[in-house]
């Protein structure tokens, strides 16, 4: 039977000393999701940070054991009782709660996961709850049950082969020029590749390529150096604006920990606007399929690459 009949409850478990060392380091399932992307996760982390840093976890309840990727649900609960949250941060599309005595809770919201802190009754679709020492509860809610949490020793070992952070110091115009030249891949699949650059997904790749005036099928090594450098700046600009707008909400699932939808969808230039006029030139936006993803393009602002003649 797919649906687990039991609920793990260690509300009365004694502090287990946070013995989380020695867990096997394995990557999470290799499946990508449209949301949330970097701006949504960054918004969640920024709002949760003042609520969680310094708080001690008094108890943990797992209401849906499959929400725990590792270790077992029972060990996950027992190892976190008594733990103090030292740091709340993001790596790529994952949120991370670092524990003072060592170890990290790493999570991915997938399609419908939400996190928030409150003191009311248990919400619907509650999958994991953390009782905090100030009487409030951190709730992990997930309608579709795709989201996952894991307790690991080393974040980088758990999330191997993830590229640099696009809002960090490693993404420079010079880096982009060099890395595009070193590869012979179409731009959209390359930017979606988390081993190349962390955190970008379908929405923000489409928006970035439009702002940069680059077609998603253009080959990376054929992008002129100046255009490659401009692409790096566009990535930073689009993501920074999206973070400021608290991400994008175009369905009922994504909400910030404060319960509000994101606002960046109001500024979409191409994503989800197929058949509508480009806000820059008036040309109708076209939807293509690139790398098995719906892809939105203005053919005037983003001219298609010309095939090279065979000599």
In a shared domain, residues 144 and 182: no
Question: Residue 191 falls within a domain, yes or no?
Answer: yes
Q: What is the pLDDT of residues 282-291, one digit of tens each?
A: 999 999 999 9
The whole-angstrom separation of Cα 131 and Cα 52 is 11
In a shared domain, residues 13 and 109: yes
Domain interval for residue 87? 8-158
Which of the residues 37, 42, 51, 58 is marked catalytic? 37
The whole-angstrom separation of Cα 127 and Cα 110 is 14
In a shared domain, residues 88 and 220: no
Residue 21 has pLDDT above 80, yes or no: no
In a shared domain, residues 68 and 184: no
The whole-angstrom separation of Cα 39 and Cα 115 is 15
Question: Residue 3 falls within a domain, yes or no?
Answer: no
- Among 123, 158, 193, the domain-final residue is 158
Question: Residue 273 falls within a domain, yes or no?
Answer: no
Question: Residue 58 falls within a domain, yes or no?
Answer: yes
- pLDDT score, position 228: 98
- Give the pTM: 0.85
In a shared domain, residues 151 and 51: yes
In a shared domain, residues 106 and 194: no
Question: Residue 139 falls within a domain, yes or no?
Answer: yes
Which of the residues 90, 91, 114, 293 is marked catalytic? 293
Is residue 131 within 8 A of residue 59, CB to CB? The reply is yes
The whole-angstrom separation of Cα 17 and Cα 37 is 34
Tokens of 303: 């001219």
In a shared domain, residues 12 and 154: yes
Instruction: Give, for 108, the enclosing helix (H) or strand (E).
Output: strand 104-108
**Active site (annotated) includes residue 165:** no
Tokens of 100: 């003072």
Is residue 177 within 8 A of residue 230, CB to CB? The reply is no
Q: What is the pLDDT of residues 95-105, one digit of tens each?
A: 999 999 899 99
| Residues contacting residue 60 through CB under 8 Å, at least 6 positions apart | 10, 76, 77, 80, 81, 128, 129, 130, 131
Instruction: Give, for 175, the enclosing helix (H) or strand (E).
Output: helix 173-181
Residue 130 has pLDDT above 80, yes or no: yes
Q: How many domains does the chain have?
A: 2
Closest by CA to 152, choosing from 33, 61, 68, is 68
- pLDDT score, position 309: 67
**Active site (annotated) includes residue 177:** no
User: With b meaning 16 or more CB within 10 Å and e meaning fewer, what string describes 200-228?
Assistant: bbbbbbbbbbbbbbbbbbbbbeebeeebb
Write down the mean pLDDT value for the chain. Answer: 88
Which of the residues 55, 90, 91, 93 is marked catalytic? 93
Question: Residue 294 falls within a domain, yes or no?
Answer: no
Q: pLDDT band for position 40 (50/70/90)?
A: very high
- Residue 56 belongs to a domain with what CATH number? 3.20.190.10
Question: Residue 108 falls within a domain, yes or no?
Answer: yes
Residue 25 has pLDDT above 80, yes or no: no
In a shared domain, residues 121 and 25: yes
**What residues are paired with 148 via a beta bridge?**
108
**Active site (annotated) includes residue 66:** no
Which of the residues 36, 39, 166, 216 is marked catalytic? 36
Long-range contacts of 251-258 (CB under 8 A, 24+ apart): 253/35, 253/111, 253/112, 253/114, 253/143, 254/35, 254/36, 254/40, 254/114, 255/114, 256/43, 256/44, 256/47, 257/44, 257/47, 257/48, 257/51, 257/114, 257/115, 257/116, 257/117, 258/47, 258/116
In a shared domain, residues 150 and 178: no
Question: Residue 247 falls within a domain, yes or no?
Answer: yes
**Active site (annotated) includes residue 230:** no
Which comes out higher in pLDDT, residue 30 or 256?
Answer: 256
- Among 131, 158, 185, the domain-final residue is 158
The whole-angstrom separation of Cα 210 and Cα 188 is 11
In a shared domain, residues 49 and 79: yes
**What residues are paired with 98 via a beta bridge?**
87, 104
- pLDDT score, position 257: 86
Closest by CA to 286, choosing from 263, 306, 303, 311, is 303
Q: What is the pLDDT of residues 49-70, one digit of tens each?
A: 999 999 999 999 999 999 999 9
Is residue 207 within 8 A of residue 271, CB to CB? The reply is yes
In a shared domain, residues 12 and 152: yes
Is residue 212 within 8 A of residue 234, CB to CB? The reply is yes
In a shared domain, residues 187 and 75: no
Angle, to 10 degrees, between the axis of helix 38-52 and the axis of helix 225-244? Answer: 40
- Among 158, 185, 219, the domain-final residue is 158
- Residue 210 belongs to a domain with what CATH number? 1.10.8.50
Q: pLDDT band for position 6 (50/70/90)?
A: very low
């Amino acid at each position: 039977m797919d649906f687990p009949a039991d609920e793990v409850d260690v509300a009365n478990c004694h502090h287990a000393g946070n013995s989380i060392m020695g867990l096997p380091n394995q990557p999470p399932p290799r499946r990508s999701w449209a949301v949330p992307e970097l701006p949504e996760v960054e918004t969640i982390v920024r709002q949760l940070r003042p609520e969680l840093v310094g708080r001690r976890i008094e108890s943990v309840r797992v209401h849906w054991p499959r929400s725990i990727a590792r270790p077992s649900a029972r060990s996950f609960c027992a190892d976190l009782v008594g733990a103090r949250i030292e740091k709340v941060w993001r790596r790529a599309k994952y949120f991370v709660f670092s524990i003072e005595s060592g170890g990290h809770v790493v999570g991915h919201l997938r399609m419908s996961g939400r996190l928030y802190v409150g003191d009311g009754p248990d919400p619907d679709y509650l999958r994991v709850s953390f009782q905090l020492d100030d009487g409030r509860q951190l709730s992990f809610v997930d309608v579709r049950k795709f989201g996952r949490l894991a307790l690991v020793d080393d974040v980088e070992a758990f999330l191997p082969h993830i590229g640099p952070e696009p809002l960090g110091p490693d993404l420079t115009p010079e880096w982009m020029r060099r890395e595009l030249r070193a590869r012979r891949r179409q731009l959209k699949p390359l930017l979606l590749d988390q081993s190349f650059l962390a955190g970008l997904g379908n929405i923000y790749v489409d928006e970035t390529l439009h702002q940069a005036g680059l077609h998603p099928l253009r080959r990376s090594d054929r992008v002129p150096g100046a255009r490659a450098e401009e692409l790096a700046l566009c990535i930073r600009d689009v993501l920074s604006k999206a973070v400021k707008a608290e991400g994008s909400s175009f369905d009922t699932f994504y909400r910030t920990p404060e319960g509000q939808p994101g606002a960046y969808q109001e500024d979409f230039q191409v994503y989800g606007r197929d058949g509508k006029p480009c806000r820059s030139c008036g040309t109708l936006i076209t939807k293509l399929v690139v790398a098995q993803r719906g892809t939105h393009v203005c053919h005037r602002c983003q001219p298609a690459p010309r095939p090279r003649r065979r000599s």
